[in-house]
Amino acid sequence: MYKINCLNKISPVGLDLFTDHYEMADQFNEADAVLVRSSSVHDLELPPALEAIARAGAGVNNIPLDKCAEKGIVVFNTPGANANGVKEIVIASLIIASRDIFGGVNWVDSCKQDPEVAKLVEKNKSKFAGTEIKGKKLGVIGLGAVGVLVANALIKLGMEVYGFDPYISVDAAWNLSKFVKHAKSLEEIYRECDYITVHVPLTDTTKAMFNKETFALMKDGVKILNFSRDALVIDDDMIAALKSGKVGRYVTDFPNPKVCGVEGVITIPHLGASTSESEDNCAIMAVRELMEYLENGNIRNSVNYPNCDMGVCTHAGRIAINHRNIPNMISQFTATVAKENINIPDMINKSKGQFAYTILDIESPSTPELAQKIREIDGVLKVRIIK
């Protein structure tokens, strides 16, 4: 029986996929596998029995990826599963950044007792007038699952779209509209665009990418949308840029005490992926990833281990090994199995950075003794008997 702990509320559409071999665990430290959305795992002690963590979403900055990898804990995310939800809220945000819809609605509410409200509206509505997005220049930074959908959709709404992503994947490049202009540098986006929307992960290189130096390169009155992570922006610099008029509006999905209530900031309570469709898609993908890993040893969509897939085991035994990506590991595994006079009809080994993963299919059922011998090899981080 596998024990699953949920650190956040996960859609039942996903949880219902777990079979009778699974039960929910109330405690993190009892779990074989964990499902999480935005809760932080950084301060939690990682229990030795924990095999995997699946992030029902894209961003994994709430999970200590290397610390997990060191303990042989595979971390998954759900690429693209919530991208449409984010795309739609970005479209809405471009419009609310351009027209004072919230200001107008709040003002009308304040006039609700006035029998002349209809007349009042016609007299005062010009205070809330805005501009259209059609024909304006939009810079999309990060052309992954979300960025590509955003860029393509806004082309269709008549914007002139510039895209910047030096690491764009082949799939994303195939899916990107040919009408998106290829920006060769961030400076080009900053120089040209009336609106900038950012869709990159929070990493050491993207952290604080919006700061006083980069604002200085932008057009006066530029409108900035942040549906990625708050730490991409230096809030004090953003507030100063809003005050000076350099930035016209800042729409962020990440409220914090500095930006909440500041004039020109529209704070949304992290709703980018909060649609029933996105929540269901993420939960389904995350649960499937965990089941595949726990039951068959296969890794799909990991962010700290290589993807590795041998299908369902058709041999007598299967052993899965999380280990360091260093010389002489495979020969030691095969020698250990050979010493037991067991044949290896099939195997796979993949690496990602400092970590690697090997699946051995063997011609007799795996035993705890064999698993222990492999565990004792220097550089091995975790060994699991799959069959």
Ligand X SMILES: O=C(O)CC[C@@H](O)C(=O)O
Residues at the site binding ligand X, with contacts judged by CB under 6 A: 37-38, 57-59, 82, 270, 272-274
Residues in CB range of 139: below 8 A, 6 or more apart: 161, 162, 163, 164, 183, 189, 190, 192, 193, 195, 196, 197
**Which CB atom, from 255 or from 379, has the smaller least distance to ligand NAD?**
255
Q: Does 262 bind ligand NAD (CB under 6 A)?
A: no
Residues 6+ apart with CB under 8 A from 46: 64, 67, 68, 71, 73
- CA–CA separation, 136 vs 36, rounded Å? 38
List the beta strands (DSSP E) in the chain. Answer: 2-6, 22-24, 33-36, 52-55, 74-76, 137-141, 160-164, 181-182, 195-198, 222-226, 247-252, 265-267, 317-324, 346-352, 355-362, 380-385
The nearest distance, CB 7 to ligand X, in angstroms, is 11
Residue 279 touching ligand NAD (CB under 6 A): no
| Rounded least distance, CB 304 to ligand X, Å | 16
Is 136 one of the binding residues for ligand NAD (CB under 6 A)?
Answer: no
Tell me the number of residues near ligand NAD by CB under 6 A: 34
User: Of residues 32, 165, 194, 237, which one binds ligand NAD by CB under 6 A?
Assistant: 165
Closest approach, Cβ 254 to ligand X, in A, equals 9
Does 130 interact with ligand NAD (rule: CB under 6 A)?
no
Within residues 145-164, the interface with ligand NAD by CB under 6 A covers 145-147, 164
The residue type found at 186 is L
Question: What's the CA gap between 73 and 292, in Å, rounded?
Answer: 14
Rounded Cα–Cα distance for residues 87 and 90 (Å): 5
Q: Which stretch binds ligand NAD (CB under 6 A): 114-122, 168-176, 326-334, 338-346?
A: 168-176
Q: Does 90 bind ligand NAD (CB under 6 A)?
A: no
Which residue number, 251 or 370, has a Cβ lying nearer to ligand NAD?
251
Query: Which among ligand NAD, ligand X, none contacts residue 164 (Cβ within 5 to 8 A by kind)?
Result: ligand NAD
Residues 6+ apart with CB under 8 A from 204: none
- State the residues that interact with ligand NAD by CB under 6 A: 57-59, 79, 82-83, 86, 141-147, 164-169, 172, 199-202, 205-206, 227-229, 253, 270, 272-273
